[in-house]
Chains A and B, each alone.
Chain A
Amino acid sequence: MKKYLLASGAGLAMLCQMAPAFADVSIMYPDWMSALVEPGISNFEAASGQKVNAVKMPGDGYEQRVAVDLAAGTAPDVVVVDSFMVSELASAGYLYDLDDKLAGWDQFKYYMPGLLDVASYDGSVYALPTDTDVRMLWYDKSVFEKAGIEMPWAPKTWDDVIAAAEKIKAAGVENAFVLPAGTKQGEAATMQGFYMALLGADTPTDDRNRLRAWDKNAWIGDSPALRRTLDLYKTVYVDKELTPASINYETDVGAAIREAISKDQLGILASGSWEFSCLWDCNGINIPSAEERNATLGWTPWPGSGAEGAPATTNISGGWTLGVSAKAADPDAAFGLLTSIFDKDNFAKWTIGEHRMGVRTDITESAEYTSDAFLAEATKLAATTTGRDTYPGYAKVTTAVQEATAAILDGASVEDAIAEYKATLEDEFGAEAVITFK
């Protein structure tokens, strides 16, 4: 009996040892990033002779997978995370501080500082951004024509947008103004919907138009900007019923939107720069030429609310990042894989081919980039962009935001939704860390 136990114990131990030794460096990435990651992997393998254990994950369940992996320490060496998670992960010690390694990489100097901020925590860079994006209002030109709205469309305030949406609704279009809401779309609802409105709802002084008052080191539980934003949601979904709430909860929201557009049942869509490809096919397969796309859809920057002191247009940028796990067995090799993926040629090819917005000046100032009309225009919006309030704890705040919009969809009053939002924040962070603006 003892021998048997010993043998199985040894066998088990061997199995444990075997697992990491299969490959020298490991990476996990969602499958929509394959075009960027896979060439980088093969280049790295060719150059270094090391094998890379790459796992391509489906998009669904990715959150659960990443969460358990990082918490248990089984995450791969190189890991793809959304930029807003970087500060949380870094503060828990899950990510490797890249400052030293980046100092020795000659391509690092081209990165735009503002965009590195988002992937940093406490002054150090913990991940490298893959791309950035800007957000705007897309509109269906044929629907606008039917509704008799002048094009190119250039709304100046929220009232202009609502007025246009009402005309579209009157023309019999079902989804007059798609403003992302609710918890199903996660971060997309916060960024494309809530934040875009919030930033234009009040003056930037003292961070009144944000979720966090940085100078005061506190989250904002109640403010005129928050209330105006929720009121906008109420107008769109409840008071004027400009769009059915269910579009936010479809089994496949992107497909539902595409279907609505193809049936001329969508007027205005609050979304981002990736839609220039993604409204047809994100991987760029079989999409119509740029002229054809411009003939179907137009876009305009998000206007501010028109309130006193509010910005004229708003924009917020996000993006994904690649970082190195703090538990990587060989950080140098992991970093080598990282730089191989982000090597100028590979990175530029992906950025331009997929119409992503570049994060490095050597790419954004290149001839190919500037010759892409859409990218050139969209990059102008990036001049006045900002990032999310990615302080540790942001994940809870953004969920509370989404739940507030869901409550509005359910028929709650703005007063109640705000009270609930504030109570959630206070419950989470303590009353001292939450302030109210009058």
Chain B
Amino acid sequence: MRSQDIRPWLASGGPLLFVAALPAILLVGVLLYFTFWALAFSFTDLETVGAKAVNWSWVGIDNYVRLFTRKGFLESLWVTLQFTFFSAIVGQCVMGFLLAVALRGKTGRLRALVEVSLMLGWLLPDIVAAFLWSATTSESGLLNQFIVIPLGFDPINFRNDYALTVVILANVWKGTAWSYLLFTAALDSVPREVLEAATVDGATSRQRMWRIVLPMIRPHIATNMLFITIWTFTYFSLIFAMTGGGPGNDTRVLAIFLYLQSFDVHKLGYGSAISVAMLVIVGGLSLIYLRLLKEPK
């Protein structure tokens, strides 16, 4: 497709395009610099305080070996995978999709109510959401007062016994808004004529969903899953505020592990290695999504 490689009106606009893109190019350059910094220092024993802050040295792949030989990384990875899978993929994505389908094409107060509720969850600052959920799952909180006790059970200390579940629920509550918005627009983009034609041909609504809608919005599903996987995998603030990674290490996700290593123990070099490792893992996950995305045009 050689002749279509450059659209004719762009050919003469080279300089303009370049100037418009310049800020982005510069800023991406800055981002690359930070990334390489983290990558470079992951091979050192740099620390933020102490003697090693000034006299650090190269240690090769020691930090990476330590990821597997010392405790903490693999356990945190497992917690993070569970957290990401259940809150992002199962929770936010599915909930967002279901809500988008249920409210598709509707207008009116109910839709507005649902949307406001979702948005409030998303827009509330993390620390406040943490308090909210701590209060809701506490022994005098909503869940116990209105559900557990009326059913006749003793109050449950949710954050002691089911910490990871609570954190997952809180994250679903917080983040579903994004998936909902994405899927709403995605569903809107499915041309009505195609659906009507299918109905005329006798397809049931279930068949319409599986055969037509889902395949058409497959790229949206994949992209959404990619974005929220990345966000959730590296998520820090809500979990840290709610449980600090505990009880014990029940909710210690990789981002918290990274924080403790970089700022509590001051080991920047090791912290950088953890960051790079997280990047590699998420990169691997995104390759999987890329496969999902490669559909025949």
Contact = CB atoms under 8 A, between A and B. Distances in A.
Direct A–B contact present (CB less than 8 angstroms)? yes
B21 to A, nearest CB: 18
Contact of A67 (B48, B241, B248): B48
A410 interface: yes
B246 A248 contact: yes
A389 interface: no
B157 A246 contact: yes
A427 B134 contact: no
A: contact size bracket: 35 or more
Contacts of B241: 251
B248 A410 contact: yes
Given A248-B246, A249-B243, A407-B248, A63 B70 contact: no
A68 B48 contact: yes
A249 B49 contact: no
Contacts of B160: 244-246
Interface in B257-277: 260, 263-267
Contacts of B130: 251
Nearest to A68: B48
A424 B71 CA distance: 9
Interface stretch (A40-48, A85-93, A302-310): A85-93
A423 B70 contact: yes
Interface stretch (A274-282, A289-297, A393-401): A393-401
A63 B71 CA distance: 24
A400 B130 CA distance: 27
B60 interface: no
A435 to B, nearest CB: 20
Nearest to B241: A251
B68 to A, nearest CB: 13
B244 A63 contact: no
A245 B49 contact: no
A409 B246 contact: yes
B41 to A, nearest CB: 12
Interface in A63-121: 63-64, 67-68, 70-71, 85, 88-89, 91-94
Given A93-B54, A246-B157, A395 B265 contact: yes
Given A248-B246, A406-B248, A409-B248, A92 B53 contact: yes
B266 A395 contact: yes
A70 B71 CA distance: 29
Contacts of A392: 50-51
A193 interface: no
Given A246-B247, A248-B247, A409-B246, A92 B51 contact: yes
A258 to B, nearest CB: 13
A319 to B, nearest CB: 19
Given A246-B163, A406-B246, A406-B248, A251 B50 contact: no
The secondary-structure label for the interface of chain A is: helix
B245 A183 contact: yes
Contact of B248 (A88, A245, A396, A423): A245
Contacts of A94: 49
B104 interface: no
Interface string A309-342: 0000000000000000000000000000000000
A393 B127 CA distance: 31
A206 interface: no
Nearest to B71: A420
Contact of A427 (B70, B127, B247): B70
Nearest to B163: A246
Nearest to A423: B70
Contact of B242 (A85, A251, A410): A251
A424 B70 contact: yes
B115 interface: no
Contacts of B72: 403
B174 to A, nearest CB: 15
A184 B244 contact: yes
Contacts of A186: 264
B223 interface: no
B131 interface: yes
B106 to A, nearest CB: 37
Contacts of B286: none
Nearest to B268: A71
B82 to A, nearest CB: 15
Interface string A193-206: 00000000000000
Contacts of A251: 130-131, 134, 241-243
Q: Which of A60, A183, A246, A393 has the most CB of B within 10 A?
A: A246
Contacts of B243: 184, 246, 249, 251
Contacts of A252: 131, 134
Given A91-B51, A395-B49, A184 B263 contact: no
Contacts of B48: 67-68, 70-71
Contacts of A180: none
A250 interface: yes
A67 B262 CA distance: 10
Contacts of B264: 63, 183, 186, 395, 399
A272 interface: no
Nearest to A94: B49
B145 interface: no
Interface string B217-249: 000000000000000000000000111111111
Contacts of B159: 246, 249-250
A267 interface: no
Contacts of A60: 127
A390 B263 CA distance: 18
A182 interface: yes
B187 to A, nearest CB: 37
Contacts of B53: 71, 92
B250 A410 contact: yes
B151 to A, nearest CB: 20
B260 A399 contact: yes
Interface string B112-139: 0000000000000001001100100000
A291 B293 CA distance: 71
A63 B263 contact: yes
Q: Which 7 A-B residue pairs are closest in the complex by CB-CB distance? A: A184-B244, A249-B246, A246-B160, A410-B248, A245-B247, A409-B248, A244-B160
Interface of A: 60, 63-64, 67-68, 70-71, 85, 88-89, 91-94, 182-184, 186, 244-246, 248-252, 392-393, 395-396, 399, 403, 406-407, 409-411, 420, 423-424, 427
Given A246-B246, A395-B264, A403-B72, 8 more contacts: A70-B49, A88-B49, A182-B247, A249-B244, A249-B245, A249-B246, A406-B248, A423-B70
